[in-house]
Amino acid sequence: MAVSTSSVSSSPPQLATLKSKAPSGEQWIHEIKYDGYRVQIHLNRGKKNAYTRNGLDWTKRFSTIAGAFDIPGRAIIDGEVVVVRDGRTNFSELQAELAAGRQDRLEYYVFDLLWLDGEDLRKRPQLERKRLLRELFDEHSIEQPIHFSEYLIGDGQRMFEHAARLNFEGIISKRTDARYRSDRNEAWFEIKTVQRGEFPVVGFVKDPSGVAALYLGKREGKELIYMGKVGTGWNRTISAQIRKQLETVVSLRSKFTKPVRKLKATWVEPYFVAEIEYRDITWEGLLRVL
């Protein structure tokens, strides 16, 4: 019995489980992890809609992408809306484009096909869905700003190491025989790369025994700019030790070049640095931490 398109539209997307190492073997395919907004495109005999990961109708925001699909029948396509800069997706610039209401730099990487002309494809194996998606691209000559998400079979760790060298966010590994499930499960794995850097500590938020968070800066020439607040992630003993050190360099006001108002902050001289793992720097100039 056929499933209606309305039942598919209410289904959340499949999500990946975070792993520290990529799997290998012929039962896995591996794709680049795109740093953007997860979006499903719903096509229904000329009507085109775009839905976010949480089911919000963002067709107006992504009208250029939805309109680029010249497919006469019905289909539901899963992918990621991105902005590409210097050969890789850039989430910060995507945020800036959307905040400004622009669409000319938006691109859409398609990696799954959930529905096609009356058939619910979610029960079919992953590799078969990829094949059908590739055939759909070829049949209808789908072009920019739409892209087919290419994949490799086999050694995921080698692909991950290559992705890390190119400064991509990471990879997604998917079981070739798995059906599409609207939850977070072991059929999809995500393996993320990280960036590391040292940032001057310019303030902290107190908790009863130590510090609840740190305010960080960055030196650019003679200027000290604000880079955001991060949670410590340390145990109570280390937290107390950090607070003891920071209280030796307390300042009456922040040392940022431009004023930053934080009511809970205890400002300090930027004498100590913190080594931080982070994903990216947002369009607002703040650290996007893990």
Set 21, 33, 229, 244: catalytic member: 33
Please check whether residue 78 is in contact with residue 112, taking contact to mean a CB–CB distance below 8 angstroms. Answer: yes
Backbone angles phi, psi at 23, to 5 degrees: -75, 170
Tokens of 285: 């100039």
Tokens of 211: 């510090």
Q: Which amino acid is at 51?
A: Y
Distance CA 3, CA 219 (A): 57
Q: How many CA atoms lie less than 13 Å away from 134 in the CB half-sphere? A: 9
How crowded is residue 122: how many other Cβ atoms within 10 Å of its Cβ?
Answer: 19
Strand ranges of the sheet holding 15-18, from the earlier edge strand across to the other edge: 15-18, 184-192, 170-175, 28-32, 152-153
Distance CA 111, CA 104 (A): 22
Number of H helices, E strands in the chain: 6, 19
Please state the length of the chain.
290
Q: Is 33 a catalytic residue?
A: yes
Q: Which amino acid is at 109?
A: Y
Distance CA 276, CA 269 (A): 19
| Strand duo 15-18 + 184-192: pairing | parallel
Question: To the nearest 10°, the Cα dihedral for 149, 42, 74, 68?
Answer: -60
What are the Cα distances from residue 115, in Å, to 2, 12, 34, 284? 10, 14, 22, 38
- As annotated, the active-site residues are 33
